[in-house]
Amino acid sequence: MSGNSPGMDIATLTALAEANRLNIVQLLRNGPLPVGEIADRLGIRQPQASKHLKVLSDSGIVEVRADGNRRIYALRSEPFQAMDFWVQSFRHIMEERLDNLDNYLREIQNKKK
């Protein structure tokens, strides 16, 4: 597998690296919310919430729809699927390390006998 897994975008990680944006994403896991409610729940001002939501929107993490004069934000699944695929690409490394540890522990056990 190449270093760049299909769909994995550094913009996703960069956007999620900021605490308020990560908190917004965690809030939106339970479903779409208007910007005002996001701001209230996080204890930040609405302009601040809007700024963070713009970064999340620009990076493709959230989508927005108008509902009258309110803007409702929801998570998009694609960036998280791409991130999951990317993380899974490292699974063989962890499995190999666990196998090596298992072999090492067996060697130690055999030496004690």
CATH architecture group of domain 10-112: Orthogonal Bundle (1.10)
- Residues 88-100 have a mean pLDDT of 82
Three-state SS string across the chain, please? Answer: CCCCCCCCCHHHHHHHCCHHHHHHHHHHCCCCEEHHHHHHHHCCCHHHHHHHHHHHHHCCCEEEEEECCEEEEEECCHHHHHHHHHHHCCHHHHHHHHHHHHHHHHHHHHHHC
Q: Tens digit of pLDDT for each residue in 5-29?
A: 455 678 888 899 999 999 999 999 9
The confidence score (pLDDT) of residue 51 equals 97
Question: Model-level pTM greater than 0.75?
Answer: no
Q: Tens digit of pLDDT for each residue in 35-85?
A: 999 999 999 999 999 999 999 999 999 999 999 999 999 999 999 988 888
